[in-house]
Amino acid sequence: MHQHIDHDRQDRFPTDPSGLPEGGRPELLELADGDTLDLRVGPVAKRLGGDTTVRMLGYNGSIPSPTLKVQQGSEIIVQVENHGDLDATVHWHGLRLENKYDGVPHETQAPIPVGGEFTYRIQFPDAACTGITRTSGRTTPRSWACTATSWSSPPNRTTGRRSTATSS
């Protein structure tokens, strides 16, 4: 059965930054196995240079979101509250994790409604993984507004070594 989607009816990401708090710089957060991170997604104003200020989705008020430093083998809980303008998910790039926490809207999880919450259990099985997290909100029927953050895993406690993989 084919489901008709009325693209004219769909909300679009607002663009007016008036009255929004300024997006700050991200923090470095060191998290231990079992720690919980409260992550609030919400609109912020971000100056891009010159006189250009845009509306973006921030994480805990920053663009990009906090950098997470987590030991290999750890698992953390990330409790996301969506205070944005549209339904959203958090998609974790570069991490091997349970599919139900991958954050691909309508594929691996239902989007988090505005005012809603979702709890992710994020595992760090690999040494020195890096990647980005992005929050996706519909801007037009065929595009997504995304903001990004990064995380890193320090060297393995036993070996003191990082992964030897390199990227080009």
d(CA 12, CA 51): 24
Q: Is the pLDDT assigned to residue 55 strictly greater than 90? A: yes
Domains and CATH numbers, the chain: 28-152 (2.60.40.420)
Count of CB atoms within 10 A of residue 109's CB? 18
Q: How far is CA 91 from CA 15, 50, 72, 97, 110, in A?
A: 22, 31, 20, 11, 12
The structure tokens listed for 80 are 């996301």
Kindly report, residue by residue over 119-135, the tens digit of the pLDDT: 999 988 877 555 545 55
Helix (H) or strand (E) holding 120: strand 117-123
Q: What is the DSSP string of 54-73?
A: EEEEEETTBSS-PEEEE-TT
pTM over 0.85: no
Q: What is the pLDDT of residue 69?
A: 84
Percent of the chain residues past pLDDT 70, beyond the cut: 69
Question: How confident is residue 22, by pLDDT bands cut at 50, 70 and 90?
Answer: very high
The token pair at 139 is: 């801007």
Going by C-alpha positions, the residue among 143, 108, 148 that lies closest to residue 10 is: 143
Summarize pLDDT for 141-154 with one digit per residue, the tens: 322 222 333 333 34
